Amino acid sequence: MNKNLNRLLESFSDEDWNRFRDFLQSPFFVKGRNYMGFYDLLKENIKGKDDYSQLTSDFIIDHLGENLSTSTLNNRLSELYKLALEFLFQIRTEKDEIGFFATIFEELTERKRFANTNYLYSLVKNKLIPPDSKDYPSYLKMLKSISDYYRSTNDFDNCFRIYNEYNSYFTAYSLEMIMNYTHNYKSINHTVLNDAKEKFNKVFSSIDFKTIIGEFGNDPLYIPVILMFYITQALANDEDESIYLKAFNYLIDNYEALSPDTRLDFNLKMQSHCVRRIMKGDNKFYEHYLDIVKNKLRHKELSFLKLNQYPFTDFHDIVKIALYAGEIDWAEDFVKEYSPMLNPLTRNTDRLSALTSVSIAQKDFTTALRYINEFNKSDNKFHNLEFYFRKIIVLYELNREEEMEQTVNNLYHYVRKHGELENELNKIDLFIKNVNKLKNIKTKTLRKIEDYLQYLENPETNFLHKKWVTEKVKEYVSIAH
């Protein structure tokens, strides 16, 4: 069986399968061969299935009811794989309208047919508003074809007009790419990249960006360039909060002038910068991260809500970051307003998880326990672990020690039952060790409580829910005084 074909087909959505059927029935693409038997069999055995090991050569030949040799079958499957790739190319062509027109212009150039040049050019030009640098390579290719045509007809006025536009886009695109690469190299520490990193740093530092900003600050074409410059500068000087704020304010001021894809890219870069600063202990960046989120919500950019990849979801991170930033009421309103838009497969679990976090932050532990008890174990074992941790915390806060001990036992039983979680045992042991220490430390002398607090406040001390343990110890210090 063709493994490449299997892996490709398992990525197909319902719409992909339906359109692939139409594609395979087009004589232009399949050139008379009938693949519908293969299509029906593969769809039945691959779509929505985790395992399709039964798709052996004998199984396929038997179910097709055709007298095929193994080598003929393999050839047919190889042909089908190539057709599936061509199908993906057709889908990509539909999405890449600029690339489509660029290819048309190249073909028209070869055929020397340019009756509709100005009309087609105007169509493409309208599609580039607002600018999106991912389209620039195709657009540049198209401009070159148009310029070459005008040169061949001795229409030099139009030739130089298009050539000037070509140079403007090429310059903006080149500058943005230089800064993109410089930003990427600054973000990654690896010896293999050192030579390239040094080269890009030299190029970046040699460009007179003050002049660029002064000359082109209001040109929509250069907004991504200038924004990329500010973000790269912020990364190079990441302890200077003012440079980050300059980047953020420039993004907000020019938000409407950017395409959706460009907005997404810059939002992710800004969020990554905030996360780097948070990881270095700069808590002001919780608020800065949240400001990016609030701006996305104002513009109704909600695609992140549809993701289904817990625990690595924007939704979950946004709630945690809002709580760290002290915006508890905002976090609660966010969960109530936007959790109905989450992916149905994980919606209830994500909602309960977020509401549990909010209730704990509000110190409403009774409500938090109610949310935890509403949770039914999910297919995601790491998600289940997190609910065990939360339940232990909440039961501790409610002074229900017997239930807490039972939950600890249940946690270890769950891990032993699922061998793939054994790698998490060290983290779990350290968490439970500190919970037990917390139970005992509150009856100790002030000196011992303060020594434990000093241990917790050491940046090198790291374990699950350390923040909660630290806050409890601070409470005990206050009481002991």
Count Cβ neighbours within 10 Å for each residue of 31-62 and write b for 16 or more, e otherwise: eeeebeebbeebbebbeeeeebeebeeeebbe
Is 309 part of a structural domain of the chain?
no
Query: Does 139 lie in the same domain as 122?
Result: yes
Q: Which of 171, 201, 225 is the last residue of a domain?
A: 171
Whether 287 is in a domain gets the answer no
Radius of gyration of the chain from Cα atoms? Answer: 29
Per residue in 20-42, pLDDT (tens digit) is 999 999 888 888 788 898 888 88
Same domain, 91 and 8: yes
- Cα–Cα distances in angstroms (integers) from residue 428 to residues 17, 381, 390, 392, in the given order: 44, 14, 12, 12
**Neighbouring C-alpha atoms within 13 Å toward the C-beta of 86:** 12
Q: Are 78 and 11 in a shared domain?
A: yes
Q: Give the distance, in angstroms, between the CA of residue 417 and the centroid of all CA atoms in the same chain.
A: 32
Is the domain of 85 the same as that of 128? no
Assigned domain for 114 exists: yes
Q: Is the pLDDT of residue 460 over 90?
A: no
Q: What's the pLDDT at 280?
A: 86
DSSP 8-class letter at 278: H
Domain boundary among 151, 171, 191: 171
Local structure of 289: helix, strand or coil? helix
Yes or no: say if 31 and 79 are a contact pair by the CB < 8 Å rule: no
Angle between helices 466-480 and 425-441 (to 10 degrees): 10
The model's pLDDT over 164-208, given as tens digits with 9 standing for 90+, comes to 999 999 999 999 998 888 888 888 777 777 788 888 888 888 888
pLDDT value of position 209: 84
What would the two tokens of residue 348 be? Answer: 């209830």
| SS3 assignment for 361-393 | HCCCHHHHHHHHHHCCCCCCHHHHHHHHHHHHH
Q: Are 384 and 410 in contact (CB under 8 A)?
A: no
Residue at 163 is within a domain? yes
pLDDT for the residue 422: 83
Residue 18's pLDDT is what?
92
Write down the pLDDT at residue 189: 75
Residues 6+ apart with CB under 8 A from 468: 360, 393
Is there a domain that residue 142 lies in? yes
CA distances from 56 to 44, 69, 385, 406 (A): 14, 13, 38, 49
Domain count, the chain: 2
pLDDT digits (tens, 9 = 90+) for 333-353: 999 999 998 878 778 888 998
Q: SS3 of 211, please?
A: helix
- Nearest CA to 106 among 139, 154, 155? 139
**pTM given for the model:** 0.75
Residue found under tokens 């002049």: 211
Residues 108 and 91 in one domain: no
Tokens 């050192």 belong to 194
User: Higher confidence at residue 200 or residue 156?
Assistant: 156
Does residue 122 lie in a domain region? yes
Say yes or no: 103 and 42 in one domain. Answer: no
89 in the same domain as 20 = yes
Share above pLDDT 90 across residues of the chain, in percent, rounded to a whole number = 40
* The two three-digit tokens of residue 373, written as one number: 């008890």
40 vs 185: CA distance, rounded Å: 47
104 and 88 within one domain? no
Cα separation of 91 and 439, whole Å? 60
Reported confidence tier of residue 310, pLDDT bands at 50, 70, 90: very low
Would you say 206 and 178 are in contact if contact means Cβ atoms under 8 Å apart? no
475 vs 117 pLDDT, higher one: 475
pLDDT at residue 423 above 90?
no
In a domain, 350, yes or no: no
Q: Are residues 40 and 120 in the same domain?
A: no
User: 97-139: per-residue pLDDT in tens?
Assistant: 888 888 888 888 778 777 777 787 888 888 777 778 888 888 8
Cβ(70)–Cβ(34) below 8 Å: no
User: What's the pLDDT score for residue 313?
Assistant: 62
Residues 75 and 14 in one domain: yes
Domain housing 78: 3-95
Q: Which amino acid is at 345?
A: L
pLDDT given for residue 307 in this prediction: 59
Tokens of 458: 């050491």
Of 107, 139, 171, the last residue of a domain is 171
Residue pointed to by tokens 């999405």: 95
What is the band of 243 on the pLDDT scale with cuts at 50, 70, 90?
Answer: very high
Rounded mean pLDDT, 232-242:
89
pLDDT greater than 50 at residue 275: yes
- How far is the C-alpha of 284 from the C-alpha of 23, rounded, in Å? 53
Q: What torsion, rounded to 10 degrees, do the Cα atoms 28, 30, 32, 35 define?
A: -140
* Domain identity same for 14 and 33: yes
pLDDT of residue 81: 92
The verdict on residue 217 lying in a domain is no
Q: What is the pLDDT of residue 311?
A: 45
